Amino acid sequence: MTTPTLPPLPTQPRNGLGTAGFVLGLLGFFFSFIPFIGVIAWPLVVLGLVLSLVGLSRTSRGTANNKGLAIAGVVLSALGLLVCVLWVAVFGQAASDLDEQADREQVVVYEVTGDAPSATVTYSTFSDGTSASSQETVTTLPWRKELTVKGLLSGGSLTVTTGQDGGSVGCKITVDGVEKKSATGNGAFSSALCGGF
């Protein structure tokens, strides 16, 4: 007498790949919004997208379940990838703008007006990490100095100090025709300071 054999139990379909793709897509999606840390989002979203697509393929063949998790993994990974691509575009544009600023020439004009019979004028510019300054004794006003600065202009200053005979002085700084700073001073040894623009 032979013992009847039982048919093998059907294996429960699993979708570990779809679940892993969902987790990686979720992590990558959240990390993609953080500007510099978001660099680690690239491999997460790409791997999450691949695993989610493989998991989705397995659910369509009936060898796996959790179709919803696989679809969510595809969506989150695709959105994370889109955010990563947008960040690359933003940083690329910022780098391009910085390069344009580095090659740009700007005209800085220092002007001193007033009725003081004598004054000491000190002016300086700061661009691309370098600075240049000069000092002149002026006996006739108005006084004007025009400089062409190449690169990223980070500031400058103009200081006018009257002599012992007093009088009034005024200073003004313009960059490419736009007034950045102006000030006045009156009396002996008084100063007008234009700086910090």
Q: Which domains does the chain have, with CATH numbers?
A: 16-102 (no CATH), 104-195 (2.60.40)
b/e sequence 28-58, b meaning 16+ C-beta within 10 Å = bbebbeeeeebeebbebbbbbbbbbbbbbeb
Q: Which residue has the higher pLDDT, 136 or 66?
A: 136
Angle among Cα 109, 153, 121 to the nearest 5 degrees reads: 40
Residue 115: predicted pLDDT: 94
Instruction: Supply the mean pLDDT for the chain.
Output: 86
The lowest-confidence range among 66-70, 125-129, 131-135 is 125-129
For 176-188, how does the pLDDT look when each residue is reduced to its tens digit (9 = 90+)?
889 999 999 999 9
Closest Cα partner for 52 from 79, 32, 30? 79
Closest Cα partner for 18 from 86, 74, 93, 79? 74
Q: How confident is the model at residue 196 (pLDDT cuts 50, 70, 90)?
A: confident
18 has pLDDT over 90: no
Range of 5-9, 61-65, 125-129, 178-182 with top mean pLDDT: 178-182
The conformation of residue 187, written as its DSSP 8-state character, comes to S
For residues 63 and 59, give the distance between their C-alpha atoms in angstroms, rounded to a whole number.
Answer: 6
**Residue 43: is the preceding peptide bond cis (ω within 30°)?**
no
Mean pLDDT of 114-143: 87
For residues 139 and 5, give the distance between their C-alpha atoms in angstroms, rounded to a whole number.
Answer: 117
For 65-114, how does the pLDDT look when each residue is reduced to its tens digit (9 = 90+)?
888 888 999 999 999 999 989 988 888 888 787 777 667 788 899 999 99
Residue 1: predicted pLDDT: 57
For residues 165 and 50, give the distance between their C-alpha atoms in angstroms, rounded to a whole number.
Answer: 82
Residue 125: predicted pLDDT: 84
